[in-house]
Structure 1
């Protein structure tokens, strides 16, 4: 970790920290929960309201809002060459049902603040610099997550995205149509246009930066992730009359499978992250032998070879332990580990030094839209600490000074692209 508080270098630019914080708190009121958190689901009325706020702020700064077929929001500082690939910076506006005020939305508002600062200084960059809010990063309403960046990167087709339904049976396609109908005058961009570079600022969602008393994390990459739906089918029976030996109890099979998965997969090494995050039992009645159990598994590891092995072993264990029930294993997400652009990482470290804050390299344990952008263009992430490493919770918190510092770093990394201020082109 670079712990030396480097002196401020003449020429380092700063964003308006008070305006940035005020806008973050304004968006936190959209979908606010009683416990001080946020429930702003993808393509919901609350997300539409957050779009209205973002677009109003953009227009007041002379910036240009637009969208695309999958519901990504773009806000551009126009450049001299409007046809050249732009530079993108952003994250997402949707939240978990009991999420916090900073996850995702910080990266979007920080990017908007950078563009506003550049516009106020009369900067006209060589190419467009664009703030982006990706659609449905969280995947809490529509699964899986990162739909906007996946469709943009060509990982998932628009048609496949539109067919997904939420727990109430609402299709993404219908929710997208409602979103676009709320903004009939918004210009429509082509899906998946070329991009020169991508940057994403985010809270760490872990305890490392806080423990190291470090303000900026220079993210080296994102660990790999696999998710699975596992369905165990048994047979319904009367709890009072069906002998134990004659039962095909799906919940009993689940307990065997779950115990083995926690032991062998979850205990593979110190780097693995294994979670059974959702379990549904049918018919879920007190006097009925369960006939079906569905569970959702989240499996992560930074080593792609280990991740592949564990994913294969997971399926083998399910098959071996399900009898006398049947089991089906469906892979939902297969996202290998990725690294971020070395030159951009160096630019982030230099920018942190310019504004005088400590920085360190860090691997992202959580997934982000930057994962998909890294396959399209030079990409990188900037982390700031969050209190206690807590995220996806109502008491998620980031200090105002750290919020401002991350945006200052983002601004100074983007300055060479804007042909403003001092610095080397990344």
Structure 2
């Protein structure tokens, strides 16, 4: 990694941890839920409200906003040599339907606070610094996940993203124009800005750091991911008149598949992550034998070969337990495991050492936008603990001290990368 090797003392100014915490609470008002969480769907009016708040904060420190065709938002701090590729940081602001205050939002607000500290100290970097809000990271309404960063990196064609369909049948190409129009003072950016590096700060979304009593994790890589949908088709029938021996009950067979799948992956241990997510039962009548069931599978592992073996096992087990029904398994999306460059990991580790923060190395179990950027620039990630490892949940929580620690290291690393 071509960055100035940390020596002597820290170069970054001290960030304002109280302001960082206050902004998390203020941003969480956009989509606030009664139990303390946040519901801020991607491309919604609430998502646009949160972004306008961020734009206002950014403009107060001289950041210039722009937005691309899929809704990725960029806030630029000009350096001495704007012709050079920029150093970027950020994450996402969209949430799960019952999400928390910190997933995604922390990476955005940590980047904002890092840039605010440089502004207040009067420090200008050689390269531009870019704060990015990636659109639709969660993929909970319009799949796939990490949509904005996938379009930016060229891994998902824009036309394919616009064809995405929500569970209610709505299409993204119909919803996106109103979302873009909700940012009237943000100019469009037609070409992707070249990047020298991208760093993403995030809550861990797992229990490892908290269990170790450490405030910081240097992420070594991200697990591979495959999303599959299993489509079981039988025959609808009257619940009171059709004997069990002649039924083609799609739900009965889907449940048998689920039991077999859980048994298979449980036997492999904790290195594999297997989840059955969305279930759709048709026709959904209490006195009709289900004729069709569709359910999704989220499969993750740090090794690509294990993912391939897992997908093949899913297909075989579903066929074995289809009974009188038919079954089809479709891969909805997927991404290979990645390892972050050693140079960027070393830089983050050394910056943490400069500020005397204990840390550990760990693999990310969740997919993040940094994974999609990995193919187009040098990438790296920092984790801070979250309480009990809970995320995608209204109980998601983090401490002001841990958020500030990660932000301080992020600011140090951004400054050194931007002067490289």
The TM-score bracket by the shorter chain reads over 0.9
Residue in 1 that maps onto 2:97: 97
Bigger Cα displacement from structure 2, 388-397 vs 74-83: 74-83
Q: Is the 8 A contact 2:11 2:412 kept in 1?
A: no
Q: How many residues align?
A: 413
Shift of 1:23: 1.0
Q: Is the 8 A contact 2:10 2:355 kept in 1?
A: no
Residue in 1 that maps onto 2:3: none
Runs of 4+ with >6 A deviation: none
SS in 2 for 1:330: strand
Q: Is the 8 A contact 1:265 1:314 kept in 2?
A: no
Shift of 1:40: 0.5
1:83-232 equivalent positions in 2, closer than 5 A:
83-232=83-232
Unaligned ranges ≥5, structure 1? 1-7, 420-424
Residue in 2 that maps onto 1:256: 256
Shift of 1:21: 1.1
Q: Is the 8 A contact 1:123 1:418 kept in 2?
A: no
> 1: distance between equivalents of 2:75 and 2:199?
14
> 1: distance between equivalents of 2:186 and 2:319?
51
Shift of 1:355: 1.2
> 1: distance between equivalents of 2:217 and 2:47?
28
Shift of 1:10: 5.5
Q: Is the 8 A contact 1:16 1:113 kept in 2?
A: yes
SS in 1 for 2:388: helix
Bigger Cα displacement from structure 2, 13-22 vs 387-396: 13-22
Shift of 1:184: 2.9
Residue in 2 that maps onto 1:351: 351
> 2: distance between equivalents of 1:327 and 1:305?
24
1:1-400 equivalent positions in 2, closer than 5 A:
9=9, 11-400=11-400
Bigger Cα displacement from structure 2, 201-210 vs 83-92: 83-92
TM-score (norm 2): 0.95
Q: Is the 8 A contact 1:387 1:398 kept in 2?
A: yes
Q: Is the 8 A contact 1:69 1:191 kept in 2?
A: no
> 2: distance between equivalents of 1:168 and 1:117?
44
Shift of 1:328: 1.4
> 2: distance between equivalents of 1:252 and 1:11?
63
Deviations, residues 324-348 of structure 1 (Å, cap 9, x unaligned): 1111111012111101111111111
Shift of 1:80: 2.4
SS in 2 for 1:188: coil
SS in 2 for 1:196: strand
Shift of 1:170: 2.5
Deviations, residues 222-265 of structure 1 (Å, cap 9, x unaligned): 11111111110100001111122211110111122111111113
> 1: distance between equivalents of 2:57 and 2:223?
35
Q: Is the 8 A contact 1:86 1:197 kept in 2?
A: yes
> 1: distance between equivalents of 2:266 and 2:299?
9
> 2: distance between equivalents of 1:171 and 1:81?
41
Bigger Cα displacement from structure 2, 259-268 vs 42-51: 259-268
> 1: distance between equivalents of 2:222 and 2:191?
24
Shift of 1:284: 1.9
> 2: distance between equivalents of 1:380 and 1:26?
28
Unaligned ranges ≥5, structure 2? 1-7
Distance 1:131 1:11, change over 3 A: closer
> 2: distance between equivalents of 1:150 and 1:197?
16
Shift of 1:320: 2.6
1:391-410 equivalent positions in 2, closer than 5 A:
391-410=391-410
Shift of 1:266: 3.8
Deviations, residues 155-194 of structure 1 (Å, cap 9, x unaligned): 1111111111222332212222112112233222234432
